[in-house]
Amino acid sequence: MVPLFRWRAGAAGLAAVALTFAVVPAATAAPVLLSQNKPVSVSSTGGSAYAGTNAVDGSTSTRWASQKNIDPAWIYVDLGAVAAISQVKLTWDLSCAKAYRVELSTNATQWSTVYETTTGDGGVDDLAVGGNARYVRVFGTTRCRTGSAYGYSLQEFQVYGTVGADTEPPTTPGNARASDITSTSVKLSWDASTDDKGVVAYDIYNTGQLVKTVDGATLTTTITGLTPNTNYGFYVNARDGAGNVSQASNTVAVKTPPDVVDNEPPTAPGNLRSTASTANSVSLAWNASTDNIGVKGYNVYSSGEQVGSATGTSATISGLKANTTYPFTVKAFDAAGNLSAASNEISVRTKAGGDVIGEVKQVTTSTDVPWGLVNLPDGSALYTERDTHKITRVTQSGTKNTVGTVSNVSGTDGEGGLLGLEISPTFAQDHWLYVYHTSPSDNRIVRIKYENGALGQSQVLLTGIVRNRYHNGGRLRFGPDGKLYAGVGDGQSGSRAQDINSLNGKILRLNPDGSVPSDNPFPGKYVWSLGHRNIEGLAFDSQGRLWEAELGNSVMDELNLIKKGGNYGWPSCEGTSGSGCGNSAYTKPVRTWGVSSASPGGLTIVNDTLFMSCLRGERLYRMKINGSGTDTPVAYFQGTYGRLRTVEPNPVTGGLWLTTSNGDKDSTGNNSNTRIMNVALN
C-alpha cells in the first residue's frame, strides 16, 4: 500500500492527505521523475516570461505565473502515458496558493482529487500521493496574496512515478455463449480477453454472484449444481496479475429444463383455515398437497391476486385494512411450475384498531425502476428512475410529473444507472439534490439544483468510483453531522474493498461541497469504513449511529452498525463465513441472513425501528433497535409484491414509502412493472 502524507519544508510534523481514484498496483521499478520537459497546459499566464513550460524545465530560476488577480487558476502536465503516480513536488514562488488541490486524470476531462489543502503558505510541498494517471493538475482556488495584483506562481512542478506499471484492465471477454444445458448444469464458453501483461483468470457470475473462477488460459467451463427449471444470467469478467478487472461480457440467459418431464400438477391444498388475525394481518394454515414428483411451495391469493407465498403449510398475510373482510385461497406448485387447483375459499375479517405494520395502499405504478426517493417540503416526493435517467415527482395521491433528466448517465446492462438520491439538509436555502449515478466511465456523485419544479444547475462532486455490471452501490444519506455518506460497491473486484486507496467497497463521507471532511478516520481520504461488498442501505438512528445493509455473494447478507474507520471483512469474510472471519480487526455484523431470504435493497429507521426491504427475499423486515443490536427480525409481504427496492419514511402519512423492483436486471428503460406504495405504521 502506498503511504500518503504531506511534508512541509521546515515544518515539524506530518499530515496525512489524499485519496487515489484507483487501486495502485505494485511498483515494478523505483519512482522516477516523469514530468520534466513534458507538455504543459495552463488556465492563463502573466506574460511571455511566465509560460507553463517554465514549471517543468528543472530550474527554479524560471517560473510559471498565472494571470494577475484571477481565481481559480490551474496548470497540468501531460506525462505521455498512464503511470503509477507516487509523488508530486511543488516549489512555489512568493505568489503561492493558500488553497489548492492536486488532481489526477487518464483523459484530461475527468479529474480525481488526491490532495487538498486550505492552509498553503508557499515553500516546497513534497506530497506522497497514489493513483494511475497520464495527466496531473494543480488547481488553485485561493491565492496567498489575495487583494493584490498577483496570481499563482510555481518555480517547479515535478511528478514522480513508476513507468511500466500495469494500470490497464483486460479487454472485455467476447461472445459469451451457452451449450450442453441440462437440468443441473451448463457449459459456458467465451472469446479470450487481451491484456498488456496477460490475463490470469476469468470470473464467472450469475446476476452479480460469483459462481466460479478459472485460469486465464481457460475459455470453456461447466457450471454444475444448478436448479432444474430455473432462469440464470451468466457473464464473465477477466482479471490480470495486478488485480485489474475488465468490464463484463454479454449476459447469457439460460433456463435449465425440468429434471424429468412433469406435466402433472399437485393436488389442491385442503382445509384452508384462519388461525389468527390482527387489525392488519391474517394468519392462514392448510393441509399439504401431494405431487408425483414433489411439492415445491404454495401461493396465497385474495380476489385472484397473489398476496403471499410459503414453502410450508402456513403463511401470514400483512398490510391489510382494519375491520375489513378478505377472501383467501391457496394453490400448490411443483418444480416444473405446474399449479394445482385452488383450495377451498374462506373469508376472514380483520380486527378493528391497529398494529405495527398497517394497511398498504398503492400510490402509483412505474414502467421503470424507482431507486432513490426523497421527501420534499410540500409533502410530495422525488424519485430516480434507474434506466430512463429521469427524476420524477409524485404526490401523495399518485399524480406524477418528470422534473428533468440527469445528464451523462449510463447503464451497465445490469444494475448501474441513475441510483441514489438525497436532499440537502438545508434545502430550503440552497435547493440542492444529491445524486449517485453511473457514467460511461465510472460511478460518481453530483449535486443538482431543484428550483421551480425543474432540475437546473449541476455540479460534479466526486468521480473515479469504478463501475461494472453489478456491485455499483449507490445509496446516499445525510447524517446528523451534516456530512453526506455514500454506500459504494466493490465494482466486482473484492480486493478493492480492502485497499484504502480505492473508493470502492467503502462507505464514503463527504462535505456537502464534495471536499474531504477534516475529521474522517483516514486523513485526506473520503473513506469512512471499508471491507464492504455491495451496499444498498444506509440509515441513522436517534443516537446519530449509522446502520448499513449489505449484499453478500452466495452465503450471507449483512446488517452492520458502522464504526468510524471500521473494517467489515469482505472479501475474506462474508457475514460470519470465511477463513478471515477470525481476524479481530474485522467488525462482525449485527444480523445475517441467507441471500435467498434477504438481498437488501434499502434501509430506513422510524422511531428507532429498522425497516429493511429485500430484493431476492421479496419481503420487508422490521427490527426494533435494542442497544447495539436488534430484536428478532419479523418478515412482512413475503411473496406479495415481488422484489422490494427502496423504503423511506413518509412524513405526511406517518408511514413508509415502499417501492418494488420487478424487471430490473438490465439497463433498458420503461420495461419494468413496478409499484410505489404507502405502508401505514400504526
Q: Which residues are catalytic?
A: 471
Which residue, 531, 526, 482, 523, is CA-closest to 508?
526
* DSSP annotation of 62: S
Q: Which residue has the cell 436517534?
A: 542
In angstroms, the CA 672 to CA 387 distance is: 10
Enclosing H/E stretch for 428: helix 427-430
In angstroms, the CA 133 to CA 612 distance is: 40
List the 325-334 sheet strands across, edge first. 305-310, 295-302, 325-334, 346-349
Q: For residue 407, what are the CA distances in angstroms to 111, 417, 439, 458?
A: 18, 11, 9, 9
Which residue, 80, 107, 77, is CA-closest to 89?
77
> How far is CA 372 from its chain centroid?
11
- Grid cell digits, residue 570: 469482505
In angstroms, the CA 419 to CA 400 distance is: 19
In angstroms, the CA 233 to CA 180 distance is: 16
Compute how many other C-beta atoms are within 10 angstroms of the C-beta atom of residue 585.
Answer: 9
Residue 134's DSSP bridge partners are none
Can you point out the beta strands (E) in 16-123?
32-33, 40-42, 64-65, 73-92, 97-105, 112-117
User: Do the beta carbons of residue 610 and residue 559 sit within 8 Å?
Assistant: yes
Can you point out the beta strands (E) in 418-505?
418-423, 432-438, 443-451, 454-465, 476-478, 484-487
In angstroms, the CA 591 to CA 560 distance is: 7
- As a residue count, the chain comes to 682
In angstroms, the CA 646 to CA 502 distance is: 27
Which residue, 630, 557, 631, 492, is CA-closest to 173?
492
Query: Burial, 386: exposed, middle or buried (Cβ in 10 Å; 0-12, 13-18, 19+)?
Result: buried
| 130-134-138 Cα angle (round to 5) | 70
Compute how many other C-beta atoms are within 10 angstroms of the C-beta atom of residue 182.
Answer: 14
| 210-216-221 Cα angle (round to 5) | 55
Which residue, 426, 433, 476, 424, is CA-closest to 453?
433
